Structure 1
């Protein structure tokens, strides 16, 4: 893999901005600019912005296909390529509730994609089927079910596909199962649950470390019944948030960001469907029609079905509407999801030794190019 030296950039390293900076890559990782080897490709960026590549931990699809439609390596490649056009350099293809056989196929595809080194593939997010029937949302009722011993063994085996997030609900998953899965290395995320505050805390104590799409498909916050939302904000776990102005009102997001107790952080997820990167109209999901209207994806009854937004647009929306500024909005798509997946030692920032995943953008935050492991995978 050839070396790369980019000069004349305004660099955001994940912490702060550096004017008239340089960026250097060798062997797929960032190196100190003063260690650029002889013969490295040199690019004068002419004042472009350079930021860490976006990390999306909940991606149902893109480029005209959902992961559930055909869980395979070509599908993963297609989804990753579609989202690279919008600045995502690492993602978790997300399988929502489906047949047992479909999950097995997804796990096999994840393992094969990791072995093949598919650019942009980070690992898997298995969202369901062990959810609450009351908060299943668009997940097919016929496939929602309690977790069994065979499920635990299969999910532990899925970890060889790479960093793995599992969305489960206490209603369908025991505390002991969460303890075992977390101990094996899974990122256990609580979601699609109507559980109360104290139940949520018990599962967090057992090892659940994130929550899936904060506010959506979970028991709401009340002043006497804090619910799952209250448990997320009042504990140290991290949580994904969909920043499209449809799933969460910006005022609710602003309140949550001010209220969140650390060390966990709120990070951005797209929950994107196959529409990303396409002009496709309506589509089918588990035999039901999903209608695409004015930035919203929903069943005929109005139930939201994922999101029609990319990560670049999410960062822009958060910066504009969450009163956090561009720096923090970028961190919500880079540093914080990396920390939530416990991969902050190799992704989410620009620093020597970390994976050379980065973006070049105009001063107006328009994407010019996407780089994964020091290789340009998209150019506007």
Structure 2
């Protein structure tokens, strides 16, 4: 059984959306979407509803429809706290998420697993599902063994629909619990088996700091055990150039790496568009790269002695901004650029029905203006953001359709 989306009450009415072009993320040659029951029912050209059908028609003939973004690394209940209670980051809102074109999120905990809890994260995930987007979560935080909902990583994966993996487990970072190789191997093995039992991917999502080990612990797990490298996804790989080169090696060996959409306080980071283009230039397939925001996580700056000297809060706005820069780069196809925030993430996490626009998939999509700014955000067949026309039946809107 694949990972299932959060519960909600998707629309039961038919909606016809006419646009300029539909990207699925590959170009489809279509200009029309028919939505039913929160799903895409039809993708084609010049669809005309029969007279009298109860169809809401939305005319946006100068906009492009693209798959809704999936942000696979979001601190939904807020992160931070490395500088004391006053440095705890705030909880996220639906408005923040949809403003960035995100229709699916994966929440997680970070450094703080004392005042932040998996149960409150699960409550936030379910609240967002009730508000209309799709939301999932990783169980755990920086430390090993990870905090869980049921007392067991395997039980969480098997029994809690919204749990799609474990993370973010910290390695190569002075804030990690400094886990041994044996502890890491056992954790990844438990997540893999839990995923097998539940029909999920059971990914372990690793926060990678700027420590000298970098990705070597994950490479060792792949070399020393029977666990495939695809079971582990490291993030923040654009933290510095040395780590980025390790990410190239990791991806060329079959792993997927996650790039973060902001610049780290250290000044050594590589911007997300530059990092992605660098990896692609080294031969890494686009399909092995994802992009996430780390939104509402803290961006602490430490001096050489480990003392906190500054802090910022990551914003989900950076995801769309960096994606737009990537999509506008010479030689980058819109299909490839959409993949790093959509189809690639859905495949890695096993999110069935996400990351594309095709019959049977969830009706999560954006309508983009010609300058690739967001006009409307649709999730599970319902408009959540944008200037939307009043509902109209097919007969009432026949003149606009023609």
* Interval containing the TM-score (normalised by the shorter chain): 0.7 to 0.9
1:29 paired residue number: 39
Equivalent in 103, 107, 110 of residue 96 of structure 1: 110
| 1:127-206 correspondence to structure 2 within 5 Å | 128-130=141-143, 146-147=144-145, 153-159=151-157, 160=160, 161-169=162-170, 171-172=178-179, 173-185=183-195, 186-192=202-208, 194=211, 195=213, 199-204=217-222, 205-206=226-227
1:11 paired residue number: 22
2:8 paired residue number: none
**CA offsets 1:56-79 (integer angstroms, 9 cap, x no match):** 011225xxx726799xxxx97x53
The count of residues paired between Structure 1 and Structure 2 equals 329
User: For structure 1, which segment, 301-310 or 48-57, has the greater mean C-alpha deviation from structure 2 after superposition?
Assistant: 301-310
Alpha-carbon distance between aligned partners in 2 of 1:266 and 1:152, rounded to the nearest angstrom: 32
Please say if residues 248 and 282 of structure 2, whose CA atoms lie closer than 8 Å, have aligned partners that are also in contact.
no
Equivalent in 286, 289, 293 of residue 266 of structure 1: 289
Q: Describe the shift of the 1:257–1:59 C-alpha distance in structure 2 as closer, same or farther (beyond 3 A).
A: same
Moved over 4 A (4+): 33-37, 67-70, 148-152, 260-264, 302-305
User: For structure 1, which segment, 29-38 or 78-87, has the greater mean C-alpha deviation from structure 2 after superposition?
Assistant: 29-38
Q: Which runs of 5+ in 2 are unaligned?
A: 1-11, 172-177, 196-201, 302-306, 388-402
1:125 paired residue number: 138
Query: Greater Rg, structure 1 or structure 2?
Result: 2
SS at match of 2:109: strand
Q: Which runs of 5+ in 1 are unaligned?
A: 131-145, 275-284, 292-298
Alpha-carbon distance between aligned partners in 2 of 1:251 and 1:177, rounded to the nearest angstrom: 33
TM-score (norm 2): 0.70
Alpha-carbon distance between aligned partners in 1 of 2:249 and 2:151, rounded to the nearest angstrom: 28
Q: CA deviation at 1:11?
A: 1.1
Alpha-carbon distance between aligned partners in 2 of 1:323 and 1:304, rounded to the nearest angstrom: 33
2:369 paired residue number: 362
Alpha-carbon distance between aligned partners in 1 of 2:147 and 2:349, rounded to the nearest angstrom: 25
Q: CA deviation at 1:18?
A: 2.4
Alpha-carbon distance between aligned partners in 2 of 1:36 and 1:165, rounded to the nearest angstrom: 46
Q: CA deviation at 1:368?
A: 0.9
Alpha-carbon distance between aligned partners in 1 of 2:316 and 2:41, rounded to the nearest angstrom: 36
Alpha-carbon distance between aligned partners in 2 of 1:215 and 1:36, rounded to the nearest angstrom: 49
Equivalent in 333, 339, 342 of residue 350 of structure 2: 342
Alpha-carbon distance between aligned partners in 2 of 1:217 and 1:113, rounded to the nearest angstrom: 36
Alpha-carbon distance between aligned partners in 2 of 1:184 and 1:41, rounded to the nearest angstrom: 43
- Which of structures 1 and 2 has the larger relative contact order (alpha carbons within 8 angstroms, sep 6+)? 2
1:229 paired residue number: 247
1:143 paired residue number: none
SS at match of 2:108: strand
Please say if residues 208 and 214 of structure 2, whose CA atoms lie closer than 8 Å, have aligned partners that are also in contact.
no
Q: Describe the shift of the 1:44–1:184 C-alpha distance in structure 2 as closer, same or farther (beyond 3 A).
A: same
Alpha-carbon distance between aligned partners in 1 of 2:331 and 2:133, rounded to the nearest angstrom: 30
Q: CA deviation at 1:120?
A: 2.2
Alpha-carbon distance between aligned partners in 2 of 1:52 and 1:251, rounded to the nearest angstrom: 23
SS at match of 2:338: helix
Q: CA deviation at 1:29?
A: 0.2
User: For structure 1, which segment, 95-104 or 40-49, has the greater mean C-alpha deviation from structure 2 after superposition?
Assistant: 95-104
Please say if residues 156 and 181 of structure 1, whose CA atoms lie closer than 8 Å, have aligned partners that are also in contact.
yes
Alpha-carbon distance between aligned partners in 1 of 2:329 and 2:294, rounded to the nearest angstrom: 19
RMSD between aligned alpha carbons?
3.6
Please say if residues 3 and 26 of structure 1, whose CA atoms lie closer than 8 Å, have aligned partners that are also in contact.
yes
Q: Describe the shift of the 1:147–1:29 C-alpha distance in structure 2 as closer, same or farther (beyond 3 A).
A: same
SS at match of 1:13: coil
Q: CA deviation at 1:96?
A: 1.2
